[in-house]
Amino acid sequence: MSNYYISSDHNKLDIERVWLLLKDCFLSKNIPIECVEKFVQHSLCFGAYMAVNDQLVGFGRVISDFTTYAYVCDVIIDEGHRHHGLATKILDAMFLHPSLQNLKTWSLKTTDEARKIYQKKGFRVVAPAESQLELDDLGIYFKGK
């Protein structure tokens, strides 16, 4: 892990690299780079970087009111840098961040493939599911094309 480090410094983020990581993912398929620019401005973002050259190889962000609720999203690691525990290290950095202490609720959406990473951190399937409501448009970035 000493080959990598995690930072929440927005100034270090390479927006184009974040976009390249996210644009082919299930939950952000075809996301325009303008959306990435905007959500970086309005989220607490975490980058995973190679120590040798500061290249961004992973990303995650939190949307929060910094009082009661945090939503974890867009956790992604470049394929060539997976299996080094970077997603877990990003989550650890989120949980330890001073602005995200003593929150009542953390939530997220994930794929079946990534679920085990989050469950190791204490996340569980919402029960009863009837109390959780959503309004989703996962095809939003396909409209108008």
DSSP string, 81-134: G-SSSHHHHHHHHHHH-GGG-S-SEEEE---TTTHHHHHTTT----SSGGG---
Please give the backbone phi and psi of residue 8, each rounded to the nearest 5 degrees, phi first.
-105, 20
% of the chain beyond a pLDDT of 70: 89
Q: Residues 79-129: pLDDT tens digits?
A: 999 999 999 999 999 999 999 999 999 998 888 888 888 888 888 887 777
Contacts of 69 (CB under 8 A, 6+ apart): 103, 104, 105, 106, 107
Q: What's the mean pLDDT when you consider all of the chain? A: 89
Q: Which amino acid is at 111?
A: T
Look at 45 and 108; give whichever has higher pLDDT: 45
Residue 111's pLDDT is 80
